[in-house]
A = this chain, B = another copy of it.
Amino acid sequence: MRCLTIIAFVYILRDGGAYGKTRRSEILEQETRLAVGGNTNLTEREDAVNNCLMQAKFRECDYGFTNPQFFNFSHHYFSYKEIIKHSKVYRMIKDIPKGAALHVHDMAMLIPDYLLNVTYMDYLYVCFEQNTVKLRFSKAAPKDTCAIKWQLMKNARKHSGDIEKFDEKLRKHFTLVCDHPDETYPTIKESWDTFLGYFGTVAPMLSYRPVWEQYFYDALKAFREDNIMYVEVRSVLPDLYELDGTTYDPVVTAKAYKKSIKRFMKDYPDFLGAKIIYAPSRLVDRQQLGVYLETARRIKKEVPEIFAGFDLVGPEDQGNPLIEFVPQLEEAGKDLNYFFHAGETDWYGTLTDDNLVDAILLGAKRLGHAYALPKHPILMEEVRKRDIGLEVNVISNAVLSLVRDVRNHPLALFLAQGLPVVLSSDDPGVWEADPLSHDFYVAFVGVASRLSDLRLLKTLALNSLKYSALDDADKINAVDKFNQRWNDFIVNFNCSKY
């Protein structure tokens, strides 16, 4: 029987007995070392940065501890997102090199104002229905059904009489943010319905080929500005189309990615690149899954340099569990790397919950969310043993109603257990969050231990490269580049700036 080093900590403890100060510090020390970042040593300069950071963090935490009614993280993210910018900790985190974003959905990377701008482009048609709005670029009025009538957005806006009000109303379709989130989204039903509505609205607009290519270029720009150096994006790879109605197949969409990435890398050579994870809907039958897997293989063949692997998306509780597709996925696993969403659920002991065991046994390189993992101690050890990256998206889980007070988010346990965590942001545009800084901030101050410090942030950033789909050589290069940037950050750090 082989015992893992991590577990071995447990047995270093002497047998039960009287209280001892040494014993106490041993235990606390063991917990510190076991936690994510616990084995990272800081240089003298890093220590100085850390002191500045922790002074600010302690101030925030301790104010909340003494005045719990004002502790932001016990409330809905929407109720405090606007004041985050006043946080000193946040402003430092913003400047910290954060490595990679490994779990983001392509059509949800940019904020509503960006999408609103897109609606100012020529040839965009709009159809206003009861509670929804349909959008599509076209030379002539689109043929898609419309309860009332298709009109050019330009005309609709002009004839609205009040452009500001018109845009304000339109913008609401591009965001989940609202004034009274607890009332607007009392349960997961309301938040997911609105969330799926968002994609229904924006997908047809963004799938217009030139918009698609520009959107991703601009998304990378926004992510780079948030001090992210590499991105892995999940995409349903929608059929792109032209103004004349020509539509393409998903391989063309993948190629459009390649083109955008290439252009971006040329303009920003310090950026390390991006890869795609083909992630179509899980709400399909086996036959359709077969089509998806075939498409994945074709994409891998056509654009191998940007293809990371395969996943299935959609509301996990409603979609098919992985077990439904095991034989097909097992077979395709010989060609494809998996990055499955798994355990994005509060439902313990259900088929959704079982996705964790199947994702792990299917050899997933990383798990999307893995929110339910702590309810599965054996699987937790499998994750550790197989070194499977856990893509944690705290704000997403809060906004999409898995948890209210983020101090109850399982990330706290993953960090405590020293599991291979990477932080990501899922769909930051939809909740008007920073590409990654808001998630780092909420995780650092709201979820992690009060005592977790710069070592945690550095380890999380490094984890995002370690658990990326970059090949070994690129990974080494990425870590090198990261270390340079990290050192620049440390050397140029000025506490009084914040």
Contacts and interface: CB of A to CB of B under 8 A. Distances in A.
A498 interface: no
Interface stretch (A108-116, A126-134, A286-294, A343-351): A343-351
A69 interface: yes
A39 to B, nearest CB: 15
Given A3-B11, A31-B378, A361 B19 contact: yes
Interface string A352-393: 011001100111000000000011111101100110000000
Interface in A436-495: 447-452
A13 interface: yes
Most chain B beta-carbon neighbours within 10 Å: one of A18, A330, A378, A448: A378
A345 to B, nearest CB: 9
A375 B30 CA distance: 13
A412 B23 CA distance: 29
B379 A27 contact: yes
Contacts of A447: 348
Contact of A449 (B358, B375, B412): B375
Given A68-B188, A361-B23, A403-B405, A16 B385 contact: yes
Copies of this chain, complex-wide, total: 2
Contacts of A376: 31, 416
Contact of A375 (B65, B346, B354, B412): B412
A407 interface: yes
A24 interface: yes
Given A403-B405, A449-B375, A190 B69 contact: yes
Interface of A: 1-3, 7-11, 13, 16, 18-20, 23-24, 27-28, 30-31, 34, 61, 65, 67-69, 71, 74-75, 182, 186-190, 317, 326, 330, 333, 346-350, 353-354, 357-358, 361-363, 374-379, 381-382, 385-386, 401-405, 407-408, 412-413, 416-417, 447-452
19 contacts: A3-B11, A10-B378, A19-B361, A24-B357, A68-B187, A68-B317, A74-B187, A74-B188, A74-B401, A346-B408, A347-B407, A347-B450, A348-B447, A349-B451, A353-B449, A374-B412, A375-B449, A402-B405, A408-B408
Given A16-B385, A20-B361, A31-B376, 15 more contacts: A1-B11, A19-B330, A19-B361, A27-B382, A28-B354, A31-B379, A65-B347, A68-B317, A75-B186, A346-B408, A348-B407, A349-B449, A374-B374, A375-B413, A404-B405
